[in-house]
Amino acid sequence: MSYDVEKPDEQWRTELAPDEYAVLRQAATEPAFTGEYTDTKTEGVYSCRACGAELFTSDTKFESHCGWPSFYDPKESKAVELVEDRSHGMVRTEVRCARCGSHLGHVFAGEGYATPTDQRYCINSISLRLAPAED
Protein backbone atom coordinates (compact mmCIF):
# COMPACT_ATOMS: atom_id res chain seq x y z
CA MET A 1 0.00 0.00 0.00
CA SER A 2 1.22 3.49 -0.81
CA TYR A 3 0.62 6.28 1.70
CA ASP A 4 0.67 10.08 1.44
CA VAL A 5 3.23 10.14 4.28
CA GLU A 6 6.07 7.68 3.79
CA LYS A 7 9.35 7.81 5.68
CA PRO A 8 12.30 5.47 6.04
CA ASP A 9 12.23 3.33 9.15
CA GLU A 10 15.24 5.19 10.60
CA GLN A 11 13.31 8.46 10.41
CA TRP A 12 10.26 7.00 12.17
CA ARG A 13 12.58 5.73 14.91
CA THR A 14 14.04 9.20 15.49
CA GLU A 15 10.66 10.98 15.39
CA LEU A 16 8.78 8.61 17.70
CA ALA A 17 9.54 7.56 21.26
CA PRO A 18 10.39 3.84 21.56
CA ASP A 19 6.94 2.92 22.94
CA GLU A 20 5.21 4.99 20.23
CA TYR A 21 7.34 3.34 17.55
CA ALA A 22 6.52 -0.14 18.89
CA VAL A 23 2.77 0.47 18.61
CA LEU A 24 2.54 2.73 15.56
CA ARG A 25 5.14 1.08 13.34
CA GLN A 26 5.40 -2.48 14.70
CA ALA A 27 1.73 -3.09 15.64
CA ALA A 28 2.38 -3.64 19.34
CA THR A 29 -0.40 -3.00 21.89
CA GLU A 30 -0.12 -0.80 24.94
CA PRO A 31 -1.16 -2.48 28.20
CA ALA A 32 -4.87 -2.25 28.99
CA PHE A 33 -6.04 0.58 31.28
CA THR A 34 -2.71 2.45 31.02
CA GLY A 35 -3.34 4.79 28.09
CA GLU A 36 -3.75 8.52 28.55
CA TYR A 37 -7.11 8.66 26.72
CA THR A 38 -8.82 5.53 28.07
CA ASP A 39 -11.13 7.47 30.40
CA THR A 40 -10.84 10.96 28.90
CA LYS A 41 -14.09 12.83 28.41
CA THR A 42 -12.49 15.95 26.90
CA GLU A 43 -14.24 17.11 23.74
CA GLY A 44 -12.07 17.39 20.65
CA VAL A 45 -10.44 15.64 17.72
CA TYR A 46 -8.12 12.65 17.98
CA SER A 47 -5.31 12.66 15.41
CA CYS A 48 -2.62 10.18 14.43
CA ARG A 49 0.41 10.69 16.67
CA ALA A 50 2.73 9.82 13.77
CA CYS A 51 1.41 12.10 11.01
CA GLY A 52 -1.31 14.33 12.47
CA ALA A 53 -4.20 13.07 10.33
CA GLU A 54 -7.59 13.59 12.00
CA LEU A 55 -9.01 10.16 12.82
CA PHE A 56 -11.76 10.24 15.47
CA THR A 57 -13.84 12.77 17.41
CA SER A 58 -14.99 12.79 21.00
CA ASP A 59 -18.58 12.65 19.67
CA THR A 60 -18.07 8.99 18.71
CA LYS A 61 -16.05 7.97 21.79
CA PHE A 62 -17.85 5.73 24.26
CA GLU A 63 -17.15 3.79 27.43
CA SER A 64 -16.64 0.15 26.57
CA HIS A 65 -14.64 -0.67 29.73
CA CYS A 66 -12.22 -2.71 27.59
CA GLY A 67 -9.05 -0.88 28.67
CA TRP A 68 -8.48 1.23 25.57
CA PRO A 69 -10.26 4.24 24.08
CA SER A 70 -13.27 3.10 22.07
CA PHE A 71 -15.01 4.85 19.20
CA TYR A 72 -17.98 3.68 17.16
CA ASP A 73 -16.94 5.41 13.92
CA PRO A 74 -13.95 7.27 12.46
CA LYS A 75 -14.18 11.00 11.74
CA GLU A 76 -14.34 10.16 8.02
CA SER A 77 -14.49 6.71 6.45
CA LYS A 78 -11.35 7.44 4.42
CA ALA A 79 -9.37 8.44 7.54
CA VAL A 80 -8.62 4.83 8.45
CA GLU A 81 -7.62 1.72 6.56
CA LEU A 82 -8.97 -1.68 7.61
CA VAL A 83 -6.70 -4.70 7.12
CA GLU A 84 -7.26 -8.37 7.91
CA ASP A 85 -5.00 -9.41 10.79
CA ARG A 86 -4.32 -13.12 11.28
CA SER A 87 -1.71 -12.72 14.03
CA HIS A 88 -1.92 -14.42 17.43
CA GLY A 89 -3.94 -17.35 16.07
CA MET A 90 -7.12 -15.37 15.36
CA VAL A 91 -8.72 -13.30 12.63
CA ARG A 92 -9.27 -9.64 13.47
CA THR A 93 -9.53 -6.36 11.59
CA GLU A 94 -6.60 -4.06 12.12
CA VAL A 95 -7.15 -0.29 11.98
CA ARG A 96 -4.39 1.79 10.40
CA CYS A 97 -4.03 5.48 9.66
CA ALA A 98 -4.88 5.86 5.97
CA ARG A 99 -2.40 8.72 5.60
CA CYS A 100 0.78 7.06 6.97
CA GLY A 101 -0.10 3.39 7.56
CA SER A 102 0.54 3.51 11.30
CA HIS A 103 -1.10 0.86 13.46
CA LEU A 104 -3.90 2.26 15.61
CA GLY A 105 -5.68 -0.80 17.01
CA HIS A 106 -8.51 -3.09 15.91
CA VAL A 107 -12.21 -2.80 15.14
CA PHE A 108 -14.81 -5.28 16.37
CA ALA A 109 -18.45 -5.64 15.37
CA GLY A 110 -21.53 -7.28 16.84
CA GLU A 111 -20.53 -7.02 20.49
CA GLY A 112 -23.87 -5.53 21.51
CA TYR A 113 -22.83 -2.02 22.48
CA ALA A 114 -25.64 0.53 22.19
CA THR A 115 -23.93 2.54 19.46
CA PRO A 116 -25.26 3.56 16.04
CA THR A 117 -22.80 1.32 14.17
CA ASP A 118 -22.53 -1.69 16.52
CA GLN A 119 -18.76 -1.35 16.09
CA ARG A 120 -15.96 -0.78 18.58
CA TYR A 121 -12.80 0.81 17.27
CA CYS A 122 -10.44 -0.26 20.04
CA ILE A 123 -7.55 2.19 19.66
CA ASN A 124 -4.24 2.52 21.51
CA SER A 125 -4.01 5.88 23.30
CA ILE A 126 -0.36 6.09 22.32
CA SER A 127 -1.40 6.09 18.64
CA LEU A 128 -3.42 9.26 19.17
CA ARG A 129 -3.04 12.91 20.09
CA LEU A 130 -6.10 14.82 21.34
CA ALA A 131 -6.70 18.43 20.30
CA PRO A 132 -9.32 19.76 22.73
CA ALA A 133 -12.23 21.65 21.23
CA GLU A 134 -12.09 25.40 21.61
CA ASP A 135 -14.79 26.87 23.82
Catalytic residue set: 122
82: helix, strand or coil = strand
Cα 27 from Cα 111, distance rounded (Å): 23
Cα 105 from Cα 55, distance rounded (Å): 12
Cα torsion 98, 78, 122, 49 to 10°: value is 40
Phi, psi of 78 (to 5 degrees): -85, 0
Cα 104 from Cα 92, distance rounded (Å): 13
